[in-house]
Chains A and B, each alone.
Chain A
Amino acid sequence: MTTLVQKLSSVFAKDKEMVEVKTKPYSNPYLTGIGLGLVLLAAFVIMGRGLGASGAMSTLVAVGINTVAPEHTQSNPFYSEYLGDGTTNPLKDWLVFEVLGVLAGGFISGSLAGRVKKGIEKGPNITSKKRLLYAFVGGSLMGIGAKLARGCTSGQALTGGALLNLGSWAFMMMVFAGGYAAAYFLRRQWL
């Protein structure tokens, strides 16, 4: 516990030499998968539901637009579904709290492994500016696709996959199909 606190605080400390945190290699993918599977199983057993991510972002978008143009969201069934009946705050949502946890969990794991560093993840042959543009465009397509499919890689592929949901399996196959089909045209970004 003390080393955890030390390592976490070292991320914020200006004097990095105080506690040396070296970048560690990523964990074994099969062991990580078992860990992730147990987290998912815990969600099933405790809550009776699986994991998610894009749903929380939908709530944020709906709440944001509702603040600017409430009449607009009320007349649109897509937004109003995320806003509820008005008796409770729509941000008091299971997925919103879960994604806040993801943010914390990612930070804790990254800190312990010395992987929390400001930067941009990109291939060697693309400029940072272009990479950020691609990230935004790819994210936009992901947002549209996830809403059409009623979930993303977490809510559909992972959760629905484990529940043997037919639609989720069809979705998952198509995600890989779309990815491999587009990969050739985007090789300059990554290779």
Chain B
Amino acid sequence: MNAPFYKFGLFNFDVSLIIAFIIGIGFGFALERGGFGSARILAAQFYFSNMRVLKVMFTAIVTAMIGLYYLSVIGFVDLSLIYISETYILPQVIGGLILGIGFVIGGYCPGTSVVSFATGKLDGLMYILGVMFGIFIFGEIFPFITDFYYSTNMGSVTLPQFFHLSYGMVVFLVVVMAVGAFALAEWSEKKFAHRNPENQL
């Protein structure tokens, strides 16, 4: 058996939608368990008092990255069949900056706002409506910014390719970086414990 299963035709498109729903349940469940339905906990990341965003995100990235690495090394997963979006470095850097500012103002990102709404939070719903309004604005200005949107295309490029390092080496470096970030996060949570919203629940 070879993976990704869908790319090897193990099931059709309609079945993939059922799988999408099931994977979504796992995604939403994990986000809610992690406290990501709460804007106060998410925003506290940017005031150093609650570092769940960093901890959960980096642990998830490291877990999936290591899993995929070993599954590809043993030849189970064909990495070339996994979709890697192309890099358009300048629009992505500017987009990331705008998104980060929006994160602190609104308290959510799109996925977490869905979880917040699912657990009855009105600000989560307002946030979703805001995201859709923002997408509408983007759609309306798209004809005027098309050139910028497609600028600085670097193709589909990964960190190992860009830095001329082996796949395993980059995996190792990311793990080292994550462990360092976790140590800093634990230290910062202790230092700013007095304003951690989780301690006030």
Contacts and interface: CB of A to CB of B under 8 A. Distances in A.
Chain A interface size, under 10 / 10 to 19 / 20 to 34 / 35 or more: 35 or more
Contact of A161 (B61, B117, B138, B139): B61
B158 A95 contact: no
B34 A29 contact: yes
A181 interface: yes
Contact of B94 (A43, A148, A161, A164): A148
Contacts of A166: 87, 89, 154, 157-159, 161-162
Contacts of B162: 166
A162 B84 CA distance: 10
Interface string A49-84: 111011001101110010000000000111100000
A103 B25 CA distance: 7
Given A26-B52, A165-B87, A171-B92, A136 B139 contact: no
A152 B99 contact: yes
B97 A178 contact: yes
Contact of A45 (B5, B22, B121): B5
A36 interface: yes
A110 interface: yes
A142 B105 CA distance: 10
Interface of B: 3-7, 16-35, 37-41, 43-47, 51-52, 55-65, 67-68, 71, 76-77, 81-89, 91-124, 126-139, 142-143, 146, 149, 154, 156-162, 167, 170-171, 174, 182, 195, 198, 201
17 contacts: A26-B198, A32-B56, A35-B26, A36-B60, A37-B63, A46-B6, A47-B20, A102-B115, A142-B106, A145-B102, A149-B94, A164-B171, A165-B159, A169-B159, A171-B96, A174-B97, A182-B104
